Amino acid sequence: MENFAFAPAYELPAWPFVPPPELGSPQTVRHPIVIVGAGPSGLTLACDLAQRGVRAVLLDEDDTVGVRGASSRGICYAQKSLEIFERLGIYERIAAKGITWSLGRTFSGEQEVYSFNLQAESVSRQPPFINLQQFYIEWFLVERILELGLTDVRWKSRVTRIEPLSDGVRIDIETPAGNYTIEADRLIDATGANSPIRTQLGIDAHASRSTDRWCISDVRFKKPLPTERWTWVDAPFNEGRGVWQHLMADGVWRIDYQMPEDCDTAHISRPEVAGARLREQLGPGVEFEFVWIGPYGYRDHLLDSFRHGRVFFIGDAAHVVSPFGARGGNSGIQDAANLGWKLALVVQGRANDALLDSYDAERQRAAKENLKVTSRSARFLAPRSPAEHTLRRAVVALAARHPFARALVNTGRMSVANDYPPAPQLPEGARTVQNLPLRWADGRETTLMQLLAEGTQCLGLWLAPTRAEARAALDATAPLPLRLLAIDGDSGLPALQADETLVRHLGLCDAGSFVLVRPDAYRAATLPQATPDAIATALRTALALDHHAP
């Protein structure tokens, strides 16, 4: 029998536990924002707030990134997430370390039946996807948070109990140096799929568990394969079941094998069993070493509401979907970016608590959509009856010959920045604005994310306003968080150069048209013929502000 080697384990950083001032103090200190859980969503939120100059306490029960001894977990980071990371200042590190890709191919047997190129629809400076082991993302976020210096990161601090109060939350914390209690105006639960806070509060997550079984093999080998997302609906080298193949950083491939539902999970993840599978796929003569092997089954859940009074749920604590399409981690990161600017404005007294309700309205809907989309992929990949197998066989057979059927092949619909439906704060609904490369009138380069990286304000992009309009609009919006910019024209406002891509992507048309972009790079309003009053009204609406208050 062939012997299979294991690579040395990843060397993860660790940060020291520092006894906080509250330990041993008789006073209960109140903090404006406490985030529990330093995974991708909790760290993104802490970093987003710090970037905006807002302090928070971040509690985590561990002192490192990733899950000790476990796999790398998430691997695919979508354009919207990458744009958020550009705004937070860690994108360059991610791009340098990760694997950029935009092409996906799906095979049935030996034949390619479907492919997509996500680059085709992109106008962003960021690529459609970068693959990177999740702990690297967390690692870069922690270092950026420490560099920004506004977040009180408390490692080895486990929340044992919370108590919702009328105006905040009481939090009991266990540490190696003893227990203590703090209070928060607002608590954000980012503790992940098994949230103890959610359990303690008795909130039903409507969980369901799939019987589909997979085995992850993270493996390093020398055989040159394209850096594309390859999926097999029915791979000849996996007894006709599904296989996923992705490259991550450090030359590590993630190969995911679908297993029989009734498989013995311990058996299928033994090195000699996983190694034999891999040998069949790679052929003889390709040397490889394992980085990690592990079985998994997936589940899903979705909270009815992501806000319970002063407690907010983000990421896996709020929603879990099957992994097909990379909609889990990415939506957690986007939850954080949705909540970050709203919390910042509320904490700074520039918006009211009502704005925070829109976090639930927008992100719960996004999660619901993601659940629907990923459930359909999961069902295509694991047919539940002979009839479903028959239909899938028909789809795959036709897809090999006819383009129309390729649209029915569903090995995951890749994560997108979800549209938000019309709502009181979003009369037109909202869609993402990509990170357009921009140029100031004097030729200097910038991007939308760079414009949004400082402070917390909406961007008003106005196509060639007149001087009088521009002055009146500055007056009308003076106390509000708005950065007003012109595109072309001679208005006296700071001006960007117009180009066709920019104008088309923003949905601008004639001189005088206007787009309001929120701090999370969602388009909140389009005004075909903007007036100063209409701009002020659109801004107040987007921020859920009383129309009569200053």
Contact flags string 371-390 toward other proteins, x per CB under 8 A:
----------------x--x
Cβ neighbours of residue 302 closer than 8 Å, sequence gap 6 or more = 205, 206, 318, 319, 320, 364, 367, 368, 371
Q: Contact, 171 vs 183, CB < 8 A?
A: yes
Strands (DSSP E) found in 477-537:
482-487, 495-496, 514-517, 522-527
Task: State the minimum distance, in angstroms, from the CB of residue 407 to other proteins.
Answer: 9
- Residue of the chain from 7, 249, 398, 474 that contacts other proteins (CB under 8 A): 398
Task: State the minimum distance, in angstroms, from the CB of residue 340 to other proteins.
Answer: 37
Cβ neighbours of residue 141 closer than 8 Å, sequence gap 6 or more = 40, 43, 44, 46, 47, 88, 90
- Residue of the chain from 391, 400, 472, 534 that contacts other proteins (CB under 8 A): 391
Q: Contact, 480 vs 539, CB < 8 A?
A: yes
Nearer to other proteins, 114 or 306 (CB): 114
- Residue of the chain from 5, 165, 225, 394 that contacts other proteins (CB under 8 A): 394
CA distance 292 to 454: 40
In the block, tokens 């950065």 appear at 483
Q: Site for other proteins (CB under 8 A): how many residues? A: 12
Nearer to other proteins, 395 or 463 (CB): 395
Nearer to other proteins, 106 or 425 (CB): 106
- Residue of the chain from 7, 408, 453, 534 that contacts other proteins (CB under 8 A): 408
Neighbours of 371 (CB within 10 A): 20
Nearer to other proteins, 23 or 394 (CB): 394
Task: State the minimum distance, in angstroms, from the CB of residue 379 to other proteins.
Answer: 16
Nearer to other proteins, 222 or 402 (CB): 402
Task: State the minimum distance, in angstroms, from the CB of residue 390 to other proteins.
Answer: 5
Binding range to other proteins, per CB under 8 A, among 135-143, 356-364, 394-402, 467-475:
394-402
- Residue of the chain from 395, 414, 463, 502 that contacts other proteins (CB under 8 A): 395
Task: State the minimum distance, in angstroms, from the CB of residue 383 to other proteins.
Answer: 12
In the block, tokens 């996500």 appear at 118
Nearer to other proteins, 249 or 405 (CB): 405
Q: What angle do CA 260, 263, 264 make, to 5 degrees?
A: 160
Tokens of 540: 């107040």
Q: Contact, 29 vs 294, CB < 8 A?
A: no
CA distance 199 to 80: 31
- Residue of the chain from 30, 55, 393, 471 that contacts other proteins (CB under 8 A): 393
Nearer to other proteins, 93 or 376 (CB): 376
Length of the chain, please?
A: 550
Name the residues that contact other proteins, by CB under 8 A.
Answer: 387, 390-391, 393-395, 397-398, 402, 404-405, 408
